[in-house]
Structure 1
């Protein structure tokens, strides 16, 4: 008869990190780095970039472990949140750089998109993902952008759009499938 594996104590590990215990960071890295790499890779789509993001996440986890507040969520959730936000920031920053480069090459008047009725201004000329996003209905496109650019939860998106949570989840799921097929 095998004994159940002991539950990993993320909160204690973060507390030890906040106290300067480098071994605690190593234990945390061994416990979660592979899963965090998967999260980062899903967001940025590149293994090398995802590895850099996970590295930066552990530096941030180490430096900000004392800012973890158990009343706001689980320690494991906080660790994943740090990684996810870094990955999303990378995507957003690169999109902003691409947009700035595009604006340098064309005038603002040439880039105006008066037919876009949703709340996001984006440029369809700068990459395949924008072409694929443009093919989505505005409400579904907004859900994707709120989730993966703004970092909103499904519940936050539902509240912001005044749409039922189940509908938002379904739109995001179907939109991700459509984007995957379009990018294919």
Structure 2
């Protein structure tokens, strides 16, 4: 079977079994999207390229832990990429504490589609949904999930308690999800 037609779930499963050809195909089909996630956070092409290699090493090592019940493969891999990029940022800002895992991963579950399947209409729907949010909540969501800001950094930036930031992020994600589901 042509590897280009194999679903990402199957490629991850084969990668978990040590199949290097499946891993190569997985890389070819997902690296551009993952690089985009990393670059959006780090804003440095050279660092992003290095982090991408780290991410694929982790995917190779952890492919067996992927569970389709929790989302699509690209979502799982994008979460790994995002977390690694944020780790790099936090390493350069040691005064920032690390958040507990949780709601911040929700943003990747909202769309859960392979980058090749996301069309202009989907992007337009996302833009409209973001536009319907209160401007401060939209700013929190975009800074947290696309720029890699931690809750602590947002609290400091907006001079607000961390609990308030956490609540606004959660409400923002729920509003975004509701809007996207209606579309």
The TM tier, using the shorter chain, reads 0.5 to 0.7
Show the counterpart of 2:58: 60
Pairing partner for 1:27 from 25, 28, 31: 25
CA distance in 2, matches of 1:15, 1:29: 14
How much is the aligned-residue C-alpha RMSD, in angstroms? Answer: 3.2
Residue pairs, 1:1-40, within 5 angstroms? 8-40=6-38
CA distance in 2, matches of 1:7, 1:23: 13
CA distance in 2, matches of 1:67, 1:20: 14
Note the C-alpha offset of 1:139.
6.7
CA distance in 2, matches of 1:96, 1:144: 22
Note the C-alpha offset of 1:36.
1.6
The answer as to whether partners of 1:43 and 1:87 remain within 8 angstroms in 2 is yes
- Please list every run of 5 or more consecutive structure 2 residues that lacks an aligned counterpart in the other structure: 97-134, 152-165
1:92–1:15 distance in 2 versus 1, CA, 3 Å: same
Q: Deviations over 1:138-165 (max 9, x none)?
A: 87775556432349xxxx7646468972
Moved over 3 A (4+): 137-147, 156-164
Pairing partner for 2:175 from 160, 165, 168: 165
- Please list every run of 5 or more consecutive structure 1 residues that lacks an aligned counterpart in the other structure: 1-5, 100-136, 170-184
CA distance in 1, matches of 2:8, 2:44: 28
Aligned residues: 121
**TM-score normalized by structure 1?**
0.54
The answer as to whether partners of 1:57 and 1:86 remain within 8 angstroms in 2 is yes
The answer as to whether partners of 2:23 and 2:60 remain within 8 angstroms in 1 is yes
The answer as to whether partners of 2:11 and 2:23 remain within 8 angstroms in 1 is yes
Which structure has more relative contact order (CA 8 Å, sep 6+)? It is: 2
Point out the structure with max Rg over C-alpha: 1
Q: Which has the higher helix share?
A: 2
The answer as to whether partners of 1:13 and 1:25 remain within 8 angstroms in 2 is yes
Q: Deviations over 1:42-85 (max 9, x none)?
A: 11000000001110000000000011111111112111111111
CA distance in 2, matches of 1:164, 1:70: 22
